[in-house]
Chains A and B, each alone.
Chain A
Amino acid sequence: MFLRIVGESFLRNPRRKILTAAALALGMAVATATLTVALEVGDRMAREFRSLGANLLVVPQSDTLPLEIGGVDYRPVDEGAYLREADLGKLKTIFWRHNILGFTPFLDTPAIVYGSKPIRTTLIGTWYEHRVPIPDGTQFTTGVSKTHPSWQIRGRWFQDGSSEAVVGAALAARDPAHLAIGKTIQVRPSEAANPAWNLLVTGIVSTGDAEEGAIFVPLAFAQAYSGHGGEFRRLYVSALTKPADVLAERDPRTLSPTEYDRWFCSPYISSISYQMEQVLPGTEVRTIRRVADSEGRILSQVSTLLWIVTLAALAAAALAIAATSAAAVLERQVEIGVMKAIGATNTRVTALFLTEHLTLALAGGAIGFVMGTALARFLGASVFGVPASPEFILLPIVLALAALVALVGGLIPIRRVAHVDPAPILRGE
């Protein structure tokens, strides 16, 4: 009978309920849209941020203090520690391997380039687009195209394994007649070194940083040139990470087993760094703060903004429900009074109204989810150029939120149901 009463109330007295369901549907649509975007925005924005370049730097743990001027390492080649190129494939075996979007080894070695005059510079051996063998038998293509996408090249990058070079724009400006595309240049590790090494200039690169004073060559060339076959000095890594929170900032050695699992299974910079150090023993992973900090800050701000919008939508829906529920209780006072007069307990009448509210919450939540998913597609397409895909995991969350909003909004009016005194109402007062 209970369900029959609720059902008939919906079928034959739908006016007020449609208003309540509409308020809920609108609130839930906004909540669904913002939550869908919030779920996607971290990933999408993190990928967008990756265009800023690498956010992690791997160096040997036992390295000597670098002699860096303007970001270029001027140490002699026989100083400092080196890392093994053969180990790099292991980076794609860590727990967060799919979040490693790219990595590029750099091998810096001093050089004198001979043009119209000898110029002291640095040869940087690296990859542009290099196929790295992964232990599982596959290959991963990576290089500066992945870790330094903002670098602007005029001409083209060198071929892997060739004797080609890309000259930094600042260096090229010092001897434009000889350090130009199509020219062959000679380099030596020192004035006394013989013979000289010939390089064909294929491009001029603008990096916006100190590397503009260097010459980029294939890593294999730099290894042969410096006598450090199969080695490199530093590694730039571009990794998708989530903004740091309290857990991310803690020392993993102080975490309880549960906290450690949660930390390990979250793509924090700290946990990814930790996993990288495990597969590249003897290394130290440093965060490139300039990139990682601004990325984390913006992601946090966007996330906060979306939460505020969601809460505002839910609060607005709760207020609308409070208003329509109050009107509905007032409108149905006689009905409540009659039910009480013929023996309905407060619990039973309140349960009727609560069930109506929860039914409306489910209906409004489901409609809101569909509307919100469509809205999120539109927002995703406008902001990121790709429509946000439906997040079905949100459906139970949205339905639970709708129920909560309906209960919070209807709490005061429904409490009033229990206080309806049938006698004056039935007298028509």
Chain B
Amino acid sequence: MTETLVEVEQLRKEFGNVRALDGVSFAVDAGEWIAIMGPSGSGKTTLINILGGLDTPTSGRAIVDQTDLARLDEAGLTRFRAEKIGFIFQQFHLVPYLTALENVMLAQYFHSTTDEHEARAELERVGLGDRLDHLPGELSGGEQQRVAVARALINQPKLILADEPTGNLDEANEQIVLGLLRKLHSERHTILMVTHAPQIGALADRRIDLHHGRLAPAPARV
């Protein structure tokens, strides 16, 4: 029987008078790869931020791995992010003065304790075994994003949230990162990925389309 990892019910988020999410409901099973799509300002990133514990809903429920995020305080959300979420950002967001290895170890440090051997292994898994001691500024965009993927995976999160993970990459690097996501999916990782590109969205198991903060009428299984 497939386990439901993410459950969203009547999720609303308002920024002043702007309604970013307006009664969104859906569920994601463990091991699914979901593409969240929609035009700019449709609420994709807001949805990802709420599911990642970076933001709180105005109303409704968001349950991830049986944790109702609305019930967590700030410290609880921090712990939730450290233990259950792996973020991959469009802008990579690596700490500029730490090496590739140290950036991965940083996530370990905030989770529990560091293990350099494990961090090396994770970077080798994303093909960066020869770039361990390089600073982000010394890496290409694709390499930086692979470091970000390694950082997202190092604590074995329940859910990987990727916000436009290939949005800043050239085609060659895009293929490398998408290859990594495919591999993660084959390893039964649950991935929620925001993307604009239909051909990338097509790689996912399922699409969730957002328009003006609402689910589009017929999110289709791909």
Listed in ascending order, the chain A residues whose CB lies under 8 Å from chain B are 1-2, 4-5, 8-9, 11-13, 334-335, 337-346, 348, 422-423, 426-428
Contact = CB atoms under 8 A, between A and B. Distances in A.
Contact of A342 (B74, B87, B97): B87
B97 to A, nearest CB: 4
Contacts of B55: 423
B49 interface: yes
Contact of B110 (A335, A348, A426): A348
Given A335-B96, A339-B110, A422-B54, A4 B102 contact: yes
A342 B82 CA distance: 6
A1 B75 contact: no
B120 interface: no
Of A2, A4, A346, chain B has the most CB atoms within 10 Å of the CB of A4
15 contacts: A1-B106, A1-B108, A5-B98, A5-B106, A8-B98, A11-B97, A339-B95, A339-B106, A340-B81, A341-B87, A341-B93, A343-B81, A343-B83, A344-B78, A344-B82
A1 B104 CA distance: 11
Contact of B111 (A9, A335, A343, A422): A343
Nearest to B86: A342
Contacts of A335: 95-96
A13 B151 CA distance: 22
B135 interface: yes
Interface of B: 45, 49, 52, 54-55, 74-75, 78-79, 81-83, 87, 89, 91, 93-99, 102, 105-111, 114, 135, 151, 155
Contacts of B87: 341-342
Contacts of A348: 110
Identify the 4 closest CB pairs spanning chains A and B, nearest first: A343-B82, A12-B97, A343-B110, A1-B109
A343 B52 CA distance: 11
A13 B96 contact: yes
A157 B109 CA distance: 84
B86 to A, nearest CB: 8
Nearest to A2: B109
Nearest to A338: B93
Contacts of A337: 93
A335 B91 CA distance: 12
Given A1-B114, A423-B54, A423-B55, A340 B96 contact: no
Contact of B93 (A2, A334, A343, A346): A334
Contact of A341 (B54, B74, B108): B54
Nearest to B151: A342
A334 B108 CA distance: 19
Contacts of B105: 1
Of A9, A13, A427, chain B has the most CB atoms within 10 Å of the CB of A427
Contacts of A422: 54
A199 B151 CA distance: 104
Contacts of B106: 1, 5, 339, 342
A342 B107 contact: yes
A9 B97 CA distance: 6
A349 to B, nearest CB: 9
A4 B102 CA distance: 9
A342 B110 contact: yes
A349 B65 CA distance: 27
B21 to A, nearest CB: 13
A2 B98 CA distance: 12
B114 A342 contact: no
Contacts of A342: 81-82, 87, 106-107, 110, 151
A108 B37 CA distance: 112
A423 B110 contact: no
Contacts of B95: 5, 335, 338-339
B45 A427 contact: yes
Nearest to A9: B97
A9 B135 CA distance: 12
A342 B147 CA distance: 14
Contacts of A344: 78, 82, 110
Nearest to A427: B45
A59 B68 CA distance: 91
Nearest to A335: B95
Nearest to B116: A1
Given A339-B106, A343-B78, A8 B54 contact: no
B150 to A, nearest CB: 12
B78 A426 contact: no
A338 B81 CA distance: 11
Given A341-B81, A343-B107, 17 more contacts: A5-B106, A11-B97, A12-B96, A12-B97, A334-B93, A335-B96, A338-B95, A340-B78, A342-B106, A342-B107, A342-B151, A343-B81, A344-B82, A345-B75, A422-B54, A423-B54, A427-B45
A338 B95 CA distance: 8
Contacts of B81: 340-343
Contacts of A423: 49, 54-55
B78 to A, nearest CB: 5
Contacts of B94: 338
Contact of A426 (B54, B96, B97, B107): B54
A58 B147 CA distance: 86
B113 to A, nearest CB: 8
Contacts of B79: 343
A8 B97 contact: yes
Nearest to B74: A346
Contacts of A8: 97-99, 102
Nearest to B49: A423
